Amino acid sequence: GLRPRTIESYTSLIRLHIVPSIGHRKLTKVKPKHIARMLQGVIDAGHTRTAELCYVVLRAALRSAVEQRRIVWSPMDAVTRPRHIPAETKVWSRAQTRAYCAAIVGDRHQIAWLLAVGMGLRRGEICGLRWSDIDLHARVLHVRNQRQRLDDGRVVDAPPKSRAGTRTLPIPRMVCDALRRNYQWGDGYVVPITPSALDAAHRRLLRRLALPYIRLHDLRHTMATNAVRNGAAMRVLASVLGHSDPALTARVYTHVDAEMVEDTIDAAARAMV
């Protein structure tokens, strides 16, 4: 039931990290200390996120072994999950977002950039969107597919990242206008480009603009932060972004900046006069 890119990622973790360290041991002889030593080696190499993912994969595998009565208990129960602290994400201010939207008018990938910064779509969801997913009369689009590039170079279609990722979203006027200007009848891709090529186009675009550099995925973060700036409810924002847990949205996809702090202080100060 996993997506192709996830299967490829898990296979790589097993081949590169888990098997070389503990693959020679009998299942019943794997101890918490062996797993902890393997994870620490990955951490010492500077790959805390990889260590966390190895923990997740191995925990699921050994839980399955317990369910199949191949072992009586999982040694993962005595292993602490590695802590990964993500790098700080950069987002644009409201003024920078407006400047960006003005600068991309006429760009060949304008629709892609608007779908990211205006609706919070993921890179794969943008590339997987088809014209048949868009209803311009009702002004809604359906997110039900994504494109993924595998390590062997193949680009495949897959369902969204999770069940919550399949969603129907209203289309903002600016995005709707761009879609109308470029509308094509049929089932073709709205943005006929691979995810990695879209990343490269984003980098080329930002080199020409007088804006701080942010990753393509950070346009999604910027959309979420702009929504919070304008009073969006976290549960609704989570649904828009395709998250099942609003706490994840609050923790990862919204960012407090100086502008938001100033607005909050000003709001509190108004009660003092």
Give pLDDT tens digits for 26-60.
999 999 999 999 999 999 999 999 999 999 999 99
Q: Which amino acid is at 59?
A: R
Give the chain's residues under pLDDT 50.
none
Q: Which amino acid is at 130?
A: R
Whether the CB-CB separation of 147 and 156 falls below 8 Å is answered with yes
0.85 exceeded by pTM: no
Beta carbons within 10 angstroms of residue 120's beta carbon: 22
228 vs 220: CA distance, rounded Å: 13
CA distance readout (Å), 267 to 159, 225, 227, 260, 270: 42, 18, 17, 11, 5
CA distance readout (Å), 211 to 54, 113, 123: 37, 15, 20
pLDDT of residue 14: 96
CA distance readout (Å), 252 to 16, 17, 115, 116, 221: 28, 27, 19, 16, 8
Chain mean position to CA 123? 8
Whether the CB-CB separation of 149 and 155 falls below 8 Å is answered with yes
State the virtual CA torsion across 245, 247, 248, 249 in degrees, nearest 10.
100
pLDDT of residue 273: 65
pLDDT of residue 62: 97
CA distance readout (Å), 154 to 1, 110, 151, 188: 19, 25, 7, 18
268 vs 176: CA distance, rounded Å: 37
pLDDT of residue 146: 95
Strands (E), the chain: 134-135, 140-143, 146-149, 155-158, 167-170
pLDDT of residue 161: 80
The residue whose two tokens read 């973060």 is 221
pLDDT of residue 100: 97
Whether the CB-CB separation of 111 and 170 falls below 8 Å is answered with no
